[in-house]
C-alpha cells in the first residue's frame, strides 16, 4: 500500500487504522489483556442469558459474538506478546499525553456539572478552560472567543434545532420569553 | 410519472433545495477542516435533526455527505493534510502539485473529477437499486444474516489493518447492539442487572463518542501544527486535461461504485484502491506517482465520490449500510419511523427517488462551491485547532444529550469516546463497531428466523445454504475472507502461481 501521511495514520479512517504492523505500541499489551478479560466477562454474561437452551434462544447470537471476541482478542494478545516494542515511544508522550488526560477529565467534569449547574455556565467554564489550555492566548481573547462561540452554539441549537439542554441555575426560558415580549411589544 | 415527480421533489421545494445547498456548502468546509470528518458531522447532526421532518433532515445529510467527501481534497492538496479520510490518497500527488505552484489546476481537476465520479455513482444507484431491490425480495433470512456478517468482515479485510482486529471490533459492535431487553422474548441481555442498561445503549451515543470525541482527543496530538499557505492560480481546468483522463476516470469511478456498494466499505477504501489501480494501469505518467502525477489525483477523487452513490445501493435496497455514513443515515431513517430495505423501495419509492434527486442536486452544488470561494476557504481552513477541538467536544455532548434528553447518554458517549481513542491508537478499526451496532438487530432476528424455519436443525440450515445459489455465493465469500488472511492462502497461492523464490531453489 502507498505511503500514508503520518497524521492520518492514527485511526481516522478505517482504510488506515492506527497502530504499527509488526510492532507493539506502549500500552498495547495492557489494552489487549483488558480486551481478553472484558470479552470473557461478556461471554460468561451471554451464557447466563439462556445457556445452551436452543439455537434460536435470545442468548445464542450474544454467545456466538462474545465467543468470537474472546478468540480474536486472545489471538491479538498472543501475537502482541511476541512483537517487539516500538522504539522511542512512551505512554506518557505518545498514547496519553498530559493534555489529553486533562481534557478527558474536563469532559467527565462537564458531565457531572451539567445537571446541577446547567448548560450555559458549564459550557462557558469548559470552553474557557479548554481554550486557555489549547490555544494559549490572553484571558480576554479566550473569554471573548469562548463566550462568543457558546452564544452562537446556543442560538443555533436552542432556536433552530430546538434542543433543550438542562437549564440549571440560568433562567433560560424566562430570558427567551422576556426577549419575545420585548419584540412583541415593539410591534 | 410518479417517479419523475418524486425525483423532482427536491428541485421544486425551495426549502429542501436550500438545505441541500447549505449541507453541501457545510460539507465542503467540514471535509476541508482537518479534524472534522463527514462521519463526525453526520453523526452529530442526526441528533439535532431528529425532531425535523424526514425530508429536510435527509436533504441536509446528503449535502454534507457529498460535499464532505469532496472537501477533504482541498486541504490534502494545499496543506498535505487530508481534511477527511477519503482524501488520504489525494494528498500523495496533490501536495507535490501544489508545491510546484499548480495548486489551482489540482483543485480544478479534483473538483471536475469529483463531479464526474459523483454522477457515475448516482447513475448506477438509480439504475441498479430498483433491480437489486426486486432481487432482494427473494432473499431468505439466512441471506440477510450472511450479508451482515460479510459487511462487517469486508471493512477489516479491505483496509490495510489487521482482519482479526476488524472482526473483534465487529463482534463488539454486535454485542453492544444486543444490550438491553431482547425484542422477541423480552429477556435481559448484557444488562448486569442495572436499570439504565435495560433500554439498551443509544447507538447515537456510541457513534458520536467513537467518531466525535475520540477523533477530537486524537487531534490534541496535533494541536500545535501550523498550516503552510500555497498560492492558488487558475482553477477551472482545460477541456483537454479532462478529456485526456476520461478513460482512467471511468475505470476508477467503477471501482468507486463497486467498493461503495459493497456493504461496509466506503470512500476512503475506494480511493486508496483506485489510486493503486491508477498506478498499475498508467504506463507513462507525465510525472512519476508521488511527485505530482495528475492520474494520482484523478483516480482517488473520482472513486471516493462515486462511492457515495454506491453506498446508497445496499442501504436503500437491503437496509445494510454501504459505509459508516450510510450506517448513520439508516439510524436517521429508523428514528423517522422508516425501515430501509426492499419493502421501503416498494412501499415508498418516492423516498428513494427523492434521495437520488437530492444527490444530483448536491453534486451540482459541489461543483459550484468547488470552483468558487477559494479566498473564504483559505481563511476558514486556518481556524486554529485549539479553538476547534473544544467546540467539537461541546457539540458532541449537546448531540448525545439531545436525542433522549438524558445525561446517561452523555456518559455512554464519553465512555465510548475514550474507548475509541485507545482503539485508534492500537489499530482497531472503528467502522465495524458502528456497523455491528446497526446490524446487530438484523443479524439476530434473521438468524433466529432462519433457524426456526429449519426447525432448529443445523444440518437442514446448511443444506439450505448449499442448495440456494445466492446463499452459497455469500457463504463462500465469507469463508474466502477468512482463508485469504491465513498462511494457508499464501502457500496455496505460491503453489498455484509459482513462487519465484521457490523456483530458484529447485
pLDDT along chain B (506 residues), means of 10: 74 87 87 73 77 85 88 79 76 83 85 92 92 84 87 73 86 92 82 80 84 85 66 70 86 91 82 87 83 88 92 88 81 80 82 90 91 72 79 86 84 93 88 84 88 87 88 89 73 62 40
Q: Is B49 on the interface with A (CB under 8 A)?
A: yes
| Helices marked H in B137-245 | 141-158, 163-178, 203-208, 214-219, 239-244
Q: CA-to-CA distance for B137 and B240, rounded, in angstroms? A: 46
Element (H, E) at B310: helix B295-318
Contact B276 A2 (CB under 8 A): yes
| A14 closest CB neighbour out of B222, B268, B444 | B268
Contact A2 B290 (CB under 8 A): yes
Instruction: For residue B463, give how far its alpha carbon lies from the nearest alpha carbon of chain A (Å).
Output: 16
Q: Are B169 and B432 in contact (CB under 8 A)?
A: yes
Is A52 part of any domain? yes
Residue A40 has pLDDT above 70, yes or no: yes
Is A151 part of any domain? yes
Q: Are B61 and B27 in contact (CB under 8 A)?
A: no
Q: CA-to-CA distance for B237 and B97, rounded, in angstroms? A: 14
pTM of the model: 0.82
Q: How far is CA A123 from CA B40, B215, B385, B432, in A?
A: 20, 20, 18, 32
Contact A3 B427 (CB under 8 A): no
Taken in order B275, B381, B229, B107, is the CA torsion positive or negative?
positive
A59 with A103, same domain: the answer is: no
Last residue of a domain, one of A94, A124, A141: A94
Q: Retrieve residue B13's grid coordinates.
A: 421545494
Size of chain A, expressed as the number of residues it contains: 187
Question: Among candidates B62, B65, B67, B69, which has minimal Cα distance to B28?
Answer: B67
Contact B421 A100 (CB under 8 A): yes
**For chain A, what is the HEC assignment?**
CCCCCHHHCCCCECCECCCCCCCECCCHHHHHHHHHHHHHHHHHHHHHHHCCCCCCCCCHHHHHHHHHHHHHHHHHHHHHHHCCECCCCCHHHHHCCHHHHHHHHHHHHHHHHHHHHCHHHHHHHHHHHHHHHHHCCCHHHHHHHHHHHHHHHHHHHHHHCCCCCCCCCCCHHHHHHHHHHHHHHHC
| Helices marked H in B319-348 | 324-335, 342-347
What is the DSSP code string of B438-464? Answer: HHHHHHHHHHHHHHHHTTT-HHHHHHH
Q: CA-to-CA distance for B278 and A113, rounded, in angstroms? A: 53
Last residue of a domain, one of A75, A94, A113: A94
A153 with A116, same domain: the answer is: yes
Chain B residues within 8 A of A32 when measuring between CB atoms: 426
| A14 closest CB neighbour out of B386, B431, B443 | B431
- The SS3 call for residue B190 is coil
A29 with A110, same domain: the answer is: no
A80 with A68, same domain: the answer is: yes
Residue A172 has pLDDT above 80, yes or no: no
What pLDDT is stored for residue B120 in this prediction?
94
Instruction: For residue A65, give how far its alpha carbon lies from the nearest alpha carbon of chain B (Å).
Output: 5
Q: What is the mean pLDDT of residues A30-55?
A: 91
pLDDT band (50, 70, 90) for residue A115 = confident
What pLDDT is stored for residue A72 in this prediction?
93
A81 with A123, same domain: the answer is: no
Contact B86 A13 (CB under 8 A): yes
Neighbours of A88 (CB within 10 A): 7
A101 with A80, same domain: the answer is: no
Contact B397 A107 (CB under 8 A): yes
Is A112 part of any domain? yes
Q: Retrieve residue B72's grid coordinates.
A: 477533504
Instruction: For residue A186, give how far its alpha carbon lies from the nearest alpha carbon of chain B (Å).
Output: 29
Is A14 part of any domain? yes
Q: How many Cα neighbours within 13 Å face the side chain of B209?
A: 28
**Residues A117-145: tens digit of each pLDDT:** 888 999 999 999 999 998 888 899 999 99
Query: Taking CB atoms and an 8 Å cut-off, how many pairs form between chains A and B?
Result: 253
Q: Is B405 on the interface with A (CB under 8 A)?
A: yes
DSSP B188: E
Q: CA-to-CA distance for B424 and A16, rounded, in angstroms? A: 10
Is A144 part of any domain? yes
Q: Are B67 and B358 in contact (CB under 8 A)?
A: no
Q: CA-to-CA distance for A103 and A90, rounded, in angstroms? A: 19
A69 with A115, same domain: the answer is: no
Q: CA-to-CA distance for B449 and B456, rounded, in angstroms? A: 10
Residue A92 has pLDDT above 70, yes or no: yes
A18 with A90, same domain: the answer is: yes
Residue of B nearest to A39 (CA): B172
Q: CA-to-CA distance for B220 and A17, rounded, in angstroms? A: 18
Last residue of a domain, one of A77, A94, A111: A94
A10 with A79, same domain: the answer is: yes
Contact A16 B80 (CB under 8 A): no
CA B368 to chain centre: 23
Element (H, E) at B189: strand B188-189
What pLDDT is stored for residue B256 in this prediction?
92
Instruction: For residue B3, give how far its alpha carbon lies from the nearest alpha carbon of chain A (Å).
Output: 31
Rg (CA), chain B: 23
A53 with A90, same domain: the answer is: yes
Instruction: For residue B1, give how far its alpha carbon lies from the nearest alpha carbon of chain A (Å).
Output: 35
What pLDDT is stored for residue B230 in this prediction?
60
A88 with A105, same domain: the answer is: no
- The SS3 call for residue B180 is strand
Is A55 part of any domain? yes
- In chain B the first and final C-alpha atoms are separated, in Å, by 69
Question: Among candidates B57, B37, B55, B59, which has minimal Cα distance to B46?
Answer: B57
Query: How many domains does the structure of chain A reveal?
Result: 2
Contact A13 B324 (CB under 8 A): no
Instruction: For residue A183, give how far its alpha carbon lies from the nearest alpha carbon of chain B (Å).
Output: 26
What pLDDT is stored for residue A7 in this prediction?
44
Q: Are B255 and B273 in contact (CB under 8 A)?
A: yes
Which residue segment(s) compose the domain that A79 sits in? Answer: 6-94
Chain A residues within 8 A of B192 when measuring between CB atoms: 45
Is A77 part of any domain? yes
Most B CBs within 10 Å: which of A6, A16, A17, A58, as the mutation test of the B interface?
A17
Q: Is B421 on the interface with A (CB under 8 A)?
A: yes
Chain B residues within 8 A of A135 when measuring between CB atoms: 384, 386-387
Q: Are A68 and B174 in contact (CB under 8 A)?
A: no
Please identify among residues 253-272 of chain B the ones whose CB lies closer than 8 Å to any CB of chain A.
Answer: 266, 268-269, 271-272
Is A1 part of any domain? no
Give ∠ CA A178-A179-A180 in degrees, rounded to 5. 90
Q: What are phi and psi of B189, to 5 degrees?
A: -125, 130
A107 with A72, same domain: the answer is: no
Amino acid at each position: 500500500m502507498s505511503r500514508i501521511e503520518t497524521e492520518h495514520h492514527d485511526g481516522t479512517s478505517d482504510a488506515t487504522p492506527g497502530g504499527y504492523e509488526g510492532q507493539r505500541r506502549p500500552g498495547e499489551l495492557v489494552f489487549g489483556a483488558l480486551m481478553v478479560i472484558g470479552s470473557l466477562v461478556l461471554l460468561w454474561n451471554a451464557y447466563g442469558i439462556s445457556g445452551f437452551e436452543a439455537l434460536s434462544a435470545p442468548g445464542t447470537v450474544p454467545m456466538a459474538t462474545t465467543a468470537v471476541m474472546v478468540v480474536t482478542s486472545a489471538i491479538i494478545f498472543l501475537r502482541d506478546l511476541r512483537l517487539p516494542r516500538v522504539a522511542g515511544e512512551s505512554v506518557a508522550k505518545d498514547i496519553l499525553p498530559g493534555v489529553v488526560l486533562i481534557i478527558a477529565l474536563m469532559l467527565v467534569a462537564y458531565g457531572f456539572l451539567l445537571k446541577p449547574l446547567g448548560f450555559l455556565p458549564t459550557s462557558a467554564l469548559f470552553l474557557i478552560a479548554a481554550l486557555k489550555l489549547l490555544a494559549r492566548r490572553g484571558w480576554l481573547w479566550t473569554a471573548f472567543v469562548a463566550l462568543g462561540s457558546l452564544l452562537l452554539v446556543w442560538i443555533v441549537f436552542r432556536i433552530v434545532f430546538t434542543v433543550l439542554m438542562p437549564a440549571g441555575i440560568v433562567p433560560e426560558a424566562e430570558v427567551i420569553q422576556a426577549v419575545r415580549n420585548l419584540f412583541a411589544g415593539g410591534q | 410519472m410518479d417517479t419523475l415527480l418524486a425525483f423532482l421533489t427536491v428541485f421544486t421545494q425551495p426549502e429542501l433545495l436550500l438545505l441541500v445547498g447549505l449541507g453541501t456548502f457545510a460539507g465542503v468546509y467540514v471535509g476541508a477542516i482537518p479534524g472534522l470528518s463527514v462521519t463526525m458531522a453526520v453523526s452529530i447532526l442526526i441528533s439535532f435533526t431528529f425532531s425535523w421532518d424526514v425530508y429536510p433532515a435527509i436533504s441536509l445529510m446528503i449535502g454534507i455527505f457529498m460535499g464532505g467527501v469532496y472537501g477533504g481534497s482541498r486541504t490534502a492538496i494545499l496543506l498535505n493534510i487530508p481534511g477527511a479520510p477519503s482524501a488520504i490518497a489525494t494528498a500523495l500527488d496533490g501536495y507535490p502539485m501544489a508545491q510546484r505552484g499548480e495548486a489551482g489546476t489540482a483543485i480544478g481537476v479534483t473538483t471536475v473529477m469529483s463531479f464526474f465520479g459523483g454522477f457515475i455513482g448516482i447513475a448506477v444507484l438509480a439504475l441498479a437499486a430498483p433491480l437489486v431491490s426486486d432481487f432482494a425480495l427473494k432473499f431468505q433470512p439466512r441471506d440477510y444474516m450472511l450479508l451482515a456478517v460479510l459487511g462487517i468482515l469486508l471493512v477489516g479485510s479491505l483496509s490495510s489493518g489487521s482482519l482479526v482486529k476488524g472482526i473483534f471490533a465487529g463482534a463488539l459492535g454486535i454485542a453492544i447492539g444486543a444490550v438491553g431487553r431482547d425484542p422477541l422474548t423480552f429477556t435481559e441481555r448484557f444488562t448486569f442487572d442495572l436499570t439504565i442498561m435495560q433500554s439498551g445503549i443509544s447507538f447515537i451515543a456510541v457513534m458520536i463518542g467513537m467518531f466525535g470525541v475520540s477523533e477530537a482527543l486524537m487531534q490534541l496530538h496535533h494541536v500545535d501544527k501550523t498550516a503552510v499557505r500555497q498560492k492558488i492560480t487558475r482553477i477551472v481546468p482545460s477541456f483537454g486535461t479532462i478529456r485526456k483522463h476520461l478513460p482512467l476516470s471511468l475505470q476508477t469511478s467503477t471501482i468507486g461504485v463497486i467498493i461503495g456498494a459493497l456493504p461496509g466499505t466506503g470512500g476512503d477504501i475506494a480511493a486508496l484502491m483506485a489510486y493503486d489501480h491508477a498506478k498499475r494501469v498508467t504506463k507513462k505518467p507525465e510525472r512519476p506517482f508521488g511527485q505530482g502525477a495528475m492520474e494520482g489525483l484523478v483516480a482517488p477523487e473520482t472513486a471516493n465520490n462515486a462511492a457515495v452513490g454506491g453506498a446508497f445501493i445496499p442501504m436503500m435496497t437491503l437496509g445494510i449500510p454501504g459505509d459508516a455514513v450510510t450506517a448513520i443515515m439508516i439510524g436517521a431513517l429508523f428514528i423517522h419511523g422508516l425501515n430501509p430495505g426492499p419493502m421501503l423501495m416498494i412501499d415508498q419509492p418516492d423516498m428513494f427517488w427523492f434521495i437520488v434527486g437530492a444527490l444530483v442536486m448536491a453534486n451540482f452544488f459541489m461543483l459550484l462551491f468547488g470552483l468558487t470561494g477559494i479566498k473564504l476557504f483559505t481563511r476558514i481552513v486556518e481556524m486554529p485547532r485549539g479553538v476547534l477541538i473544544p467546540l467539537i467536544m461541546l457539540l458532541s455532548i449537546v448531540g448525545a444529550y439531545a436525542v433522549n434528553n438524558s445525561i446517561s447518554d452523555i456518559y455512554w458517549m464519553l465512555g465510548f469516546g475514550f474507548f475509541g481513542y485507545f482503539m485508534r491508537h492500537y489499530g482497531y478499526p472503528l467502522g465495524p463497531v458502528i456497523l455491528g451496532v446497526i446490524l446487530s438487530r438484523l443479524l439476530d432476528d434473521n438468524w433466529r428466523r432462519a433457524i426456526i424455519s429449519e426447525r432448529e436443525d443445523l444440518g437442514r440450515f446448511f443444506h439450505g445454504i448449499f442448495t440456494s445459489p445466492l446463499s452459497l455465493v455469500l457463504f463462500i465469500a465469507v469463508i474466502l475472507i477468512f482463508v485469504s488472511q491465513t498462511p494457508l492462502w499464501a502457500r496455496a497461492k505460491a503453489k498455484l502461481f509459482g513462487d519465484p523464490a521457490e523456483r530458484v531453489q529447485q
